[in-house]
Structure 1
Amino acid sequence: MTDKPTDAPPVHRVTAFDLVSREPWAITPDMLNTIAAIARREHEGPEAVEARQGRPLQNSRTVTQRGSVALVPVTGPVFRYANLFTALSGATSLDVLAKDFTTAVDDPRTESIILVMDTPGGQASGIAEFAQMIRASPKRVVAYVSGNAASAGYWMASAAHEIVMSRTGGVGSIGAVLNIRANKDDGSLEIVSSQSPNKRPDFTTEQGRAVVQSHVDRLAGIFIEDVANYRGVTVDDVLADFGQGDMRIGSDAVALGMADRESTLENLIAELNTSTGDRSMSTTATKPSNEPGDKPVINREYLAANHAELLATLEHDAHAAGARAECDRIKGVEAAALPGHEELIASLKFDGVTSGPEASAQVIAAERAKRTNALATLRSDAPQPVPNAPAPDPEPAAKTTEDPDAPLEERAKATWDSDKELRNEFGTFEAYHGYRRASERGLIKVLKK
Structure 2
Amino acid sequence: MRQIGAGPQPYTNVARQLLDRPLAILPHQLEATLLALQARLGLVEISTIDATAMEAKAMLERSALSGDARREWDSGRSFHTDGEVAVIPIVGTLVPRFGWLDPMCGMTGYDGLTRKLRDAVRDPAIEAIWFDIDSPGGAVAGLEQFVLELAELADSGGKPIYAWVNEQACSAAYAIASTCHKVYGPETAMVGSIGCCMAHTDITGALDEAGVKVTIIRSGERKMRGSSVEKLDKVTLAKFQASCDAVRDRFAKIVAMGRGITVDDAMATEADWFEGSEAVDLGLMDAVTTEREAWARLEEEIDRNKRERRSAR
The TM-score, its normalising length taken from structure 2, stands at: 0.71
Aligned to 2:114: 98
* Secondary structure in 2 matching 1:81: coil
- Which residue pairs with 2:132 in the alignment? 116
**Distance across 2 between alignment mates of 1:248 and 1:89:** 26
Contact residue 129 and residue 159 of structure 2 kept, 8 A? yes
Quote how far apart the aligned CAs of 1:90 are.
2.4
Secondary structure at the aligned position of 2:129 is classed as strand
1:98 Cα deviation after fit: 1.0
C-alpha distance in structure 1 between counterparts of 2:169 and 2:290, whole Å: 16
What residue number does 2:179 align with?
159
Q: Write out the 4+ residue segments of structure 1 that deviate beyond 6 Å after TM superposition.
A: none
Show the 5 A alignment for 1:352-363: none
1:215 CA drift (Å): 1.2
Residue number in structure 2 paired with 1:20: 18
Structure with higher strand content: 2
Q: CA RMSD in A?
A: 2.8
CA contact (8 A) 2:80 2:87 kept: yes
Kept in 1, the 8 Å contact 2:86–2:126? The answer is yes
Which residue of 231, 243, 249 corresponds with 2:275?
249
1:180 aligned residue (184, 196, 200): 200
Looking at structure 2, the residues matched to 112 and 83 of structure 1 have their Cα atoms a distance apart, in angstroms, of: 25
Give 1:42 shift.
7.4
Deviations along 1:7-61, one digit per CA (max 9) or x if unpaired, are xxxxxxx79755531322111111111111121247669xxxxxxxxxxxxxxx9
Partner of 2:200: helix, strand, or coil? coil
Match of 1:270 in 2: 296
- The residue identity in structure 2 corresponding to 1:214 is A
Q: Distance in 2 between matches of 1:145 and 1:238?
A: 19
Q: Which has the larger radius of gyration?
A: 1
Q: Give the total of aligned pairs.
A: 248
**What are the superposed Cα offsets for residues 217-249 of structure 1, whole Å, 9 maximum, x if unpaired?**
111111111111222222111122xx3111110
1:112–1:139 Cα contact (<8 Å) kept: yes
Aligned mate of 2:170, from 121, 126, 150 = 150
- Following superposition of structure 1 onto structure 2, how do residues 157-236 of structure 1 map, counting pairs within 5 Å? 157-184=177-204, 185=207, 187-194=213-220, 196-197=221-222, 200-201=225-226, 204-236=232-264
Distance 2:296 2:177 in 1: 20
**Corresponding residue for 1:48?**
none
Task: Provide closer, same or farther for how the CA distance between residues 168 and 183 of structure 1 changes in structure 2, counting only shifts above 3 A.
Answer: same
Give SS of 1:89's match: coil
The verdict on how the C-alpha distance between 1:42 and 1:116 changes in structure 2, with shifts beyond 3 A counting, is closer
Which residue of the other structure, out of 130, 144, 147, is the alignment partner of 1:128?
144
More helix by share: 1
Identity of aligned residues (%): 29
Q: Is it true that 1:39 corresponds to 2:59 in the alignment? A: no
In 1, Cα distance between equivalents of 2:112 and 2:41: 30
> Partners in 2 of 1:102 and 1:16 — Cα distance?
24
Distance 1:239 1:269 in 2: 31
**Kept after mapping to 1: 8 A contact 2:89/2:103:** no
In the TM superposition, residue 214 of structure 1 has moved relative to its aligned partner by: 0.9
Q: Are the counterparts in 2 of residues 168 and 250 from structure 1 also a CA contact under 8 Å?
A: yes
User: Is contact 1:203-1:209 (8 Å) kept?
Assistant: no
What is residue 385 of structure 1 aligned with on the other side?
A: none
Shift of 1:89: 3.2
CA change 1:109–1:42 in 2 (3 A) is closer
Deviation at 1:81, TM superposition (A): 0.7
Do the aligned partners of 2:168 and 2:190 also contact (CA within 8 Å) in 1? yes
Partner of 2:57: none
Match of 2:53 in 1: none
SS in 1 for 2:199: coil
2:165 and 2:186 in contact (8 A); partners too: yes
Contact 2:91 2:103 in 1 (8 A): no
Q: Please report how far the alpha carbon of residue 162 of structure 1 lies from its aligned counterpart in structure 2 after TM superposition.
A: 1.2
SS, match of residue 284 in structure 2: coil
**Residue segments in structure 2 that go unaligned for 5+ positions in a row:** 1-11, 44-76, 308-313
